[in-house]
Amino acid sequence: MPAAPPPKTCLLQFRNCRILRDHKIYRDDLWVRAGKIINPEKIFFDERIVADIQVDCNNSILTPGFIDAQINGACGVDFSDVDSDVTEGVSTVAKHLLEHGVTSFCPTVITSPPESYHKILPQIKRSQGGAEGAGVLGVHLEGPFISKAKKGAHPEVYICDLENGFSDLVDMYGNLDQVSVVTLAPEYPRSEEVIKECVSRGITVSVGHSMANLVQGEEAVCQGAGFITHLFNAMLPFHHRDPHLVGLLTSERIPKDRTIFYGLISDGIHTHPAALRIAHRVHPDGLVLVTDAMRAMGLPEGTYSFGKQSVDIKGKTATLTGTDTLAGSIARMDVCVRHFAKSTSCGNVLALEAASLHPAQMLGITKSKGTLDFNTDADFILLDDSLQVRATYIAGQQVWVADDVTLRETSLQEA
């Protein structure tokens, strides 16, 4: 069971651990107070105090909590299900994600009619997270402004173009205050207006489910788009005369002060290990692991609904009923991290940063999430050498711990 939360003024020292910080893993202690990571020099030289509580981390790797920027649901919950209690569903998934090492996520809503968005979106609010579950970073709207030719598992009947520019988004979604990411096809004629307006509002624009060529992709990035939705999936494949959106990874038209980030579903189904290796070796700094998980994650094989459609789960694969079209994944984030590390031999640092630092950079939230820098939120996880999650912390509070793990806490004030 998670430990009782310490008082807000309590000074915590996590010791006997190896910390991921500044692209390296090295032995050090982590100091936490009031939910933030603090600089120990202030403690040693200014306050001249010792920790209230020391936590023995059993030689674990201590890394920033994972961030899933694209997850459609889990454990029976579908964020696109307009007939469900979305608020309760988000809470259910948030709690479930803690054992995967996920401390923050973007609930993702796939292509739906306007009335569904208008009912669903007001029920999803940003949150810090805690013992009740992982924090919500805002909604990822994947559609409906995508290509019918690359719709994947999205219902074609609801797919729209951008005939009227940004006003189409407002009419479709309603209030955008809780939106963090919008996936759209950049080949639509008025996409430039939409991209620029979204970016001005702090919304990350992702290109995906698209028939765009490389030039159209480059123009979208120059206009402000910063992400590619599940690279290799639901887009034109790489071709030596036009590499399409995949070519953005090596484009020389990307502004020098910009990084193009791209999602990868490293579940052993969506992306071949050779493709994972290609992406890693070509553009490691932009790599963002996402699960693209749907409601059957954590459930047995069977048939489930996904938005307005039916999905069959067999083994590790989710497909639209009666087809071989992939319909999201059922993979956990920690599984994706381990599969990526094994498939690419990239090392633990990059595999872990692809699920923490990089999504935080893509979302523009590194001042609070995705790192163990001083003054950031104390959202972190403990892992063993095989990258199995052993415990999860949000704001310095233990919110999940494996059944076979005991982390000894010592109160130095009582000693």
Binding residues for substrate: 153, 233-234, 241, 270, 326-328
Dihedral angle computed from the Cα positions of residues 336, 340, 343 and 347, in that order, rounded to the nearest 10 degrees: -140
Q: Which of 327, 305, 310, 312 is nearest to 82 (CA)?
A: 305
Q: Which of 88, 134, 80 is nearest to 108 (CA)?
A: 80
Binding residues for Zn(2+): 142, 209, 230
CA distances from 95 to 75, 129, 131, 392 (A): 10, 9, 8, 11
Q: Which of 410, 268, 401, 390 is nearest to 338 (CA)?
A: 268
Binding residues: 142, 153, 209, 230, 233-234, 241, 270, 326-328
Side chain identity, residue 133: G
Residues facing 389 on adjacent strands: 383
Q: Quick check: is 403 catalytic?
A: no
- Say if residue 156 is exposed, middle or buried (CB neighbours under 10 Å; 0-12, 13-18, 19+): exposed
Which residue among 78, 81, 292, 334 is the active-site one? Answer: 292
**Element at 318 (helix H, strand E):** strand 317-320
Measured in degrees and rounded to the nearest 5, phi and psi for residue 48 equal 55, 55
Cα–Cα distance, 238 to 165 (Å, whole number) = 29
Give the active site residues: 292
